[in-house]
Amino acid sequence: MILPAIAIVFGLILLVWSADRFVEGAACVARHYGMPPLLIGMVIVGFGTSAPEMVVSAISAAQGNPGIALGNAYGSNITNIALILGVTALISPIAVHSQVLHKELPILAGMTVLAAWQLWDGSITRFDAVVLLLVFAGLMGWTIWQGLRKRVDRLGSEIEEELSTHPMPINRAFFWLAAGLLLLIASSRMLVWGSVEIAHLLGVSDLIIGLTIVAVGTSLPELASSVIAARKGEHDIALGNIIGSNLFNTLAVVGIAGAIHPLTVGPEVFSRDLMVMGGVTISLFLMGWGFRGPGRINRWEGGTLLCVYLGYNAYLASEVFLK
């Protein structure tokens, strides 16, 4: 029990640290070769914050642990909204702009419906996975095209400022790009091994471990960036970070895992976990609508989201210890 627990803790720490090194190295390499700052922010940083979920789910699927692969993706989505946005709103109420309500949130809701439709029979086939990846590629292409066409380069200017403040020689950037990727893979394998061992020792399913310990651990980059953004008053970045991460998890993370190995899980994933994920997604839309004024997620609503997260995890714990 001690060795798997150490593997989980050390694996999570190394996973988060290596993801940060990988993103920093990739961004500096991209900037060195003339990639526009906007694309660095949208593509490299966007992929980087979700790299832990992607690598962990891919390795889990390859090793025949579909519960961790799918539980990590859907559990991270629940964690992102209920825990991270809940904590962020408690620190500073989050303003929701009309563009988010009219475009990003409906897209996220639509992708959640697509996930529910695909998981109706309790499996994600390779065909389902290809559909998810194609939809994700289309969304990424459309988002990048929209950003370049409108020249809305706010995110790009922030990335440019960050890279200028912390310059890195190109040789060091290549080193951290390669080392960060290798450490991501190594730490993910360590985390998956520890999680599977703990699950077997406690007699619980891989799915429960994926929904809880692994999901929280791989969501730490989103938690850190959202809290920092909220404290700086950058509410759109905090909310956009969560929406983008959930889209990535629903489409790319599940798609990559399903393409590597078809995922088959029990009916509780649809009736319990997917329903909770859909419920918090809809609640996010309703909270941000602003029926009595400008849309915002206030502290009361943040506290409610946090209570939902605690209640959901308490329910999962009860299934483990009271079965």
C-alpha 221/C-alpha 226 separation (Å) is 8
Residue 72, token pair as written in the block? 């990590």
All domains of the chain in start order, with CATH: 2-321 (1.20.1420.30)
Encode the chain (323 residues) as per-residue pLDDT tens digits: 788 888 888 887 887 788 777 777 777 776 677 666 555 555 666 666 677 788 888 888 888 888 888 888 999 999 999 998 898 888 888 877 766 666 778 888 899 999 999 988 888 999 999 999 999 999 888 877 766 665 444 444 544 555 455 567 878 888 887 888 788 778 877 887 888 788 778 778 888 888 888 888 778 777 777 777 777 676 666 777 788 888 888 999 999 999 999 988 888 888 899 999 999 998 888 887 755 556 778 889 899 999 999 999 999 888 776 66
What gap in Å lies between CA 194 and CA 208, rounded to an integer? 14
Residue-level pLDDT at 37: 53
Residues 6+ apart with CB under 8 A from 6: 194
pLDDT of 292: 54
DSSP state string for 4-21: HHHHHHHHHHHHHHHHHH
Cα 111 to Cα 116, 117, 159, 206, 237: the distances in Å are 9, 10, 28, 25, 21
Query: Following DSSP, what letter does each residue of 238-277 receive, concatenated?
Result: HHHHHHHHHHIIIIIIHHHHHHHS-EE--THIIIIIIHHH
Tens-digit pLDDT profile for residues 195-247: 878 877 877 888 888 888 888 877 877 777 777 777 767 666 677 778 888 88
Please answer whether residues 101 and 289 qualify as being in contact, where contact means their C-beta atoms are separated by less than 8 angstroms.
yes
| Residues paired with residue 124 on neighbouring β-strands, in sequence order | 263
pLDDT, position 291: 56
